[in-house]
Structure 1
Amino acid sequence: MKKFWGVFVLSVVCGFGSAVQSRDAVRVSTDGWSGLYIGAHGGFLRGKNHVTNVATVEPEGTFGGLQAGYWAPLTANWLYGFEVDLSLSGADGIGNAAGVFSGIDRFGTARTRLGYANGPWLLFASGGLAWARMTSLDITTSAGTMNTKHSFLGWSGGFGVEYALSQRWSAKAEYVHASFTRNNEDLVGEGGEQKLGFGTVRLGLNYQLGALPQRPLPMRALTSFDWTGGYIGVHGGFARGVQSMSYQGGTVLFDPASGGFGGVHGGYNFQFASNLVLGIESDFSFANLNGNFMAGCCRVTVERFGTARLRAGYALGNVLLYGTGGIAWSKFDPTYRGGQFESNRPFVGWTGGFGAEYAFAPLWTIKAEYLRFAFDDTNTEHPGLSQFDERGKYDVYRIGLNYRTALLGNLLQR
């Protein structure tokens, strides 16, 4: 963490120096804020982890990380956007006399944003998905002491202010609150539930990669199609994967869980003069994936999943070929040992893949895509089972239909 803060402070100093040299080009309208950006941030976190009937832990500490997103104009002063961030955290705490330890290892969000620009100032509010990875030690139960390392999934919301230091650089201050769904498991009749929430105050520095055109996109022939802009869409497909669990030195592999899914997505692309296209996309899917082992002794159901990903591709007119990678989450409901162990919690991991997209009209595109999901181990230590690990890997195949909302935003300005 000390190494990170050194890099962060150096980035801020260098960025501010560049900004001072180009003060004559400060942004003064929504057009100046529009486009993709990347950046770094750091701040302070304070939260609360309530362990049912055991203790309440209040972890606190510093964190730092990276973010990427985009802004697009709605009217002369209003903008909409999307941002994804990832932070490494040193926040931890010990809960009252019970001695329970909780440490937040890393967390992130994927948020939609709405902003109001006035000269070099931008006021904004945001809301969306949040996830966190937390380690808890010495949770006392009637059967003994339990240790866990789990992923949490929930929602986040906040507000902030951003100031344009130059045409490319901006600095921001932001508050974000995250509240997570209860992480519950029933282990051989011994219930255990954790409820996590925290607030963060952060400072950040952003670098703008490019700007949207300062006038509405003309209706050009598809041979000169421009991929720049935001979009929303729907998708559906088929997924297949392997869920596994291990305890007392043994491993159980489920029959491949498979089934269909469908959902919605949204994102933003920016096309450079070289036909390189960079973008960001988030999606949410409802699923019906099922797998079992040993005549129903053990089963797993995948109810929903989603991703927040960066995309990089090359445009061949109205055809876009791209690769993609980012964060994935999923909601599993596994049951082991004939119902002796049931868990109800999310898994968080990583995803990567590739796809192709085709623009068949100025406002509409279709796409086909493959993604690979790999989820972090979820670990529980409990008397009688020693160490209990769960993990999952899935292959996702889907097709989608997109509508280019950036052009709708331009129409609203007329």
Structure 2
Amino acid sequence: MARKYFGTDGIRGATNQGAMTAAMAMKVGMAAGSHFLRGHHKHRVVIGKDTRLSGYMLESALVAGFTAVGMDVVMTGPLPTPAIAMLTQTMRADLGVMISASHNPFADNGIKLFGPDGYKLSDADEEAIEALIDGDVPLVPSAQIGRARRIDDAAGRYIHFAKATFPSDLRLDGMKVVIDCANGAGYKVAPDALWELGAEVIAIGVTPNGTNINDRVGSTAPETLSETVVASGADIGIALDGDADRLIVVDEKGRVIDGDQLMATIAAGWARRGRLAGGGLVATVMSNLGLERHLAAQGLGLIRTKVGDRHVLEAMRARGYNVGGEQSGHIIMADYATTGDGLIAALQVLAEVKRAGAPASEVLHRFDPLPQLLKNVRFAGGRPLEADSVRAVIAAAEAELTGRGRLVIRPSGTEPVIRVMAEGDDAAQVERLVDSICDAVRAAA
């Protein structure tokens, strides 16, 4: 069923436009609140946000919507997305809400919803809420309007939770860590957690002003982190994104280490200690073939899903895996969290480096990635991937790559773009095949 408001990760868009107005946020609060009014207990929703200027506006509108249908509201202030998922569970809330557009610039914002189990909502729940947004939601009598309050210890609760995932026999004493919080949701909790575990912490991206979130800092812009690590002689650098649900790492030489390498590191360590469930990892079709070959050499498997951490988590739950994620740095460890958590993943990476007693550049470089190339082809309309001419070129490319690489071609879910990705042992061959497919798509569009 086509969605009107919900995308792959909640509702997102430019603020004060379309689905990201205060009026729409109030409707979302009323609709989601009404949908989760189940049973006769006093219902509760936890609302967190990142540091965007528009977060105040959307928070107030959501509070109005939820209280109007009889839900009590607990506001946490700026906290990572995984912290809201955790608090939704531990506070026995009926619903959790995170106001964030993740790694997008400050002018965007979004609304992510979690069910009472701390997991993102099912398709059925999202479809039911969409129907209520466009319908008439009954309001409660005045005596039943919900109450709203802020809690002051939410950050401390999350720090305690995150630290509890770090091995009890280890400390970070003697390790100099640069942490880049993207001027986002993790700007307080991440440096504090690392310091409490004994690290010498150099924090950047920790001065949010409402408009500088993800602005030349964070996991999508690691250049400043790399420069700071090298200049300060740090052992490692960690970059979170705007809502702190993913990370990228920089080694002591300033080299960026992506999610594939980090997942391989965590999986290897957990496998050695008998902790890895499912016999491998779950990752998306975008993870490098080098990761798959590396795991196979260790007797571990790789399950691939469609792009999106939601699909990764669904496969993990269905198949009994406890580690999975994306090349972009969303890493899910089901033993600890119901969604990707950049800080907890970082702590696991730091634990592996600490145990090895070797530089991060040696510990975290697990395999040489195969040459990989991704190009986007914009088209005006129609379905170019269904054209016989395009199918013929794709079939020829797949045949040429058999045993030496792979091809991933998919339409974007948000814009008229075809994404063409190939990887293989021969970089020149990869580029030639990608270009040939892109040319065929353009000719058919």
**Short-chain TM bin:** under 0.3
Task: Normalising by structure 2, report the TM-score.
Answer: 0.22
Instruction: Name the structure, 1 or 2, with higher relative contact order (CA <8 Å, separation 6+).
Output: 1
Higher strand share: 1
Task: Normalising by structure 1, report the TM-score.
Answer: 0.23
